[in-house]
Amino acid sequence: MGRSDRRELESRFTVLVAHLLKWLAQPDRRSASWSATIREQRRQIARKLVDFPSLQPILDQVLAAIYADARENLARQTGLTDADFPSECPFALDEILSHSFLPE
């Protein structure tokens, strides 16, 4: 596994988790675009894990590393503060990667 593969995985997780948080925090603003972004990030993460199975064991580390960035990015996008979102990721790894999970 190269650094660029890990960086890509972290980037995709950041976008995915931010969109899941946005979905949870702003139910009245949910859109097809948000849903499409969630699906695409999951699809690309799944492909990356098939191509590089050595990334699978570090997914918990990746999630822990990107969560603060996802909160910060989301706060900038929404006008909310990062304190408006849980300090710890409210989603389990299997939920984040599940093609059917959307937080309610």
How many residues are given for the chain?
104
Residue 48 tokens read as 């990356």
How confident is the model at residue 83, as a pLDDT? 85
Each residue of 42-84: pLDDT tens digit?
999 999 999 999 999 999 999 999 999 999 989 998 888 888 8
C-alpha dist (Å) from residue 53 to 28, 45, 83: 38, 11, 35
What would the pLDDT profile of 27-36 be if each residue is shown by its tens digit? 999 999 999 9
Give the three-state DSSP class for 63. Answer: helix
Q: What pLDDT was estimated at residue 84?
A: 87
Residue 87, pLDDT score: 92
How many whole angstroms separate alpha carbon 68 and alpha carbon 47?
A: 25
* 1, pLDDT greater than 80: no
Q: Alpha-carbon distance 73 to 59, whole Å?
A: 20
H-helix segments, 1-104? 3-25, 32-51, 59-78, 93-97
| Domain ranges, ordered by start, for the chain | 3-97
pTM: 0.93
What pLDDT score does 3 carry?
A: 86
Query: Given pLDDT bands bounded at 50, 70 and 90, which one contains residue 2?
Result: confident
